[in-house]
């Protein structure tokens, strides 16, 4: 764990991969009021062997950590969001060097506010992430220049009864990411804004499929079974 003021600048938890050959690092991004411990269990369920990197959002809203400022529910302070997006992407790059993580294997896993900043990183700093699992995300911003997201898979999990993220908003995000070339899988749950066991199970299967496809494409695959 590091404190603000250390080079990484984010209080965070890092848990090394359980298998040296694990094809994944999960960047875990909590919802409003969460912290760096919130999604560790979810990360383990999603990819039992992956490295986990979990920073705490630095913005406080009535004492509740978030990743960027908002003016009201769903109304974002775009200047702050842009600056915080670059700050988080810089953190990911620094952490990748410090913990020797392959940057083409870092997947964001974000919930709510964490999913929104993960989407913003994809849109403004796509090179920082190999892909993303976004639980209950909305369009964080529309970039001036479309990023090139071809080859980057995104799993978008939405709740049909979500009072915060409407189905239209989910569709808008799916379209934006697809237009940028991302390979988007949209999954609907009969749920609200909360994360459900079915969300996690579906995302787990999706990540496993990605890891298997990656393994099958790797030169010399089959020599050794890899786990995610
Ligand atoms: C946000 O502010 O990022 C969204 O409204 C989600 C939330 O944190 O409630």
Residue 1 pLDDT: 43
Task: Indicate which residue's Cα is closest to atom 5 of ligand 1.
Answer: 74
Phi first, then psi, for residue 7 (nearest 5°) are -50, -40
Q: How confident is the model at residue 222 (pLDDT cuts 50, 70, 90)?
A: low
Residue 18 Cα to ligand 1 midpoint, Å, equals 32
Mean pLDDT of 207-223: 76
Q: How far, in Å, CA of 215 to CA of 228, rounded?
A: 10
Q: How far, in Å, CA of 30 to CA of 219, rounded?
A: 35
The model's pLDDT over 161-192, given as tens digits with 9 standing for 90+, comes to 999 999 999 999 999 999 999 999 999 999 99
Residues in the chain, how many?
228
Is the pLDDT at 225 greater than 80, yes or no? no
Residue 32 Cα to ligand 1 midpoint, Å, equals 6
Residue 116 pLDDT: 98
Query: Helix (H, G, I), strand (E, B), or coil: what is residue 218?
Result: coil
The model's pLDDT over 123-162, given as tens digits with 9 standing for 90+, comes to 999 999 999 999 999 999 999 999 999 999 999 999 999 9
Residue 216 pLDDT: 78
Residue 8 pLDDT: 59
Comparison of pLDDT for 162 and 3, the residue scoring more: 162
Task: Indicate which residue's Cα is closest to atom 8 of ligand 1.
Answer: 113
Query: Helix (H, G, I), strand (E, B), or coil: what is residue 204?
Result: helix
Instruction: Choose the residue to mutate in 116, 120, 138, 139 for probing ligand 1, maximizing ligand atoms within 8 Å of C-beta.
Output: 116
Is the pLDDT at 3 greater than 90, yes or no? no
The model's pLDDT over 27-79, given as tens digits with 9 standing for 90+, comes to 999 999 999 999 999 999 999 999 999 999 999 999 999 999 999 988 999 99
- For ligand 1, which residues put their CB under 6 angstroms from it? 31-32, 70, 73-74, 112-113, 116, 164
Residue 136 Cα to ligand 1 midpoint, Å, equals 9
Chain centroid to CA 98: 20
Task: Indicate which residue's Cα is closest to atom 3 of ligand 1.
Answer: 113
Helix residue spans in the chain (DSSP H): 40-46, 78-98, 113-124, 167-179, 197-217
Catalytic residue IDs:
112, 162, 193
Kindly state the tokens that stand for 84: 């915080």
Atom of ligand 1 nearest to the CA of 73: 5
Chain centroid to CA 170: 16
Asked if 115 and 136 touch (Cβ cutoff 8 Å), the reply is: yes
């Amino acid at each position: 764990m590091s404190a603000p003021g250390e080079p990484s600048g984010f209080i965070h938890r890092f848990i090394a991969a359980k298998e040296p050959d694990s094809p994944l690092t999960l960047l875990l991004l909590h919802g409003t009021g969460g912290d760096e411990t919130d999604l560790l269990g979810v990360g383990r369920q999603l990819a039992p062997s992956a490295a986990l990197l979990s920073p705490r959002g630095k913005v406080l809203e009535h004492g509740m950590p978030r990743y960027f400022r908002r003016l009201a529910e769903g109304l974002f302070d775009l200047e702050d969001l842009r600056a915080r997006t670059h700050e988080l992407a810089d953190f990911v790059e620094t952490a990748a060097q410090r913990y020797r993580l392959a940057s083409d294997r870092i997947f964001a896993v974000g919930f709510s506010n964490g999913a929104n900043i993960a989407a913003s990183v994809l849109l403004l700093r796509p090179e920082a992430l190999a892909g993303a699992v976004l639980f209950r995300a909305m369009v964080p911003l529309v970039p001036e220049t479309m990023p090139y997201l071809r080859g980057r898979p995104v799993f978008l999990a939405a709740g049909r009864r979500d009072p915060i993220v409407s189905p239209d908003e989910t569709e808008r995000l799916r379209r934006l990411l697809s237009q940028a070339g991302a390979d988007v899988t949209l999954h609907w749950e009969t749920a609200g804004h909360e994360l459900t066991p079915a969300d996690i199970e579906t995302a787990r299967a999706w990540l496993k499929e990605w890891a298997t496809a990656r393994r099958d494409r790797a030169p010399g695959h089959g020599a050794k079974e890899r786990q995610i």
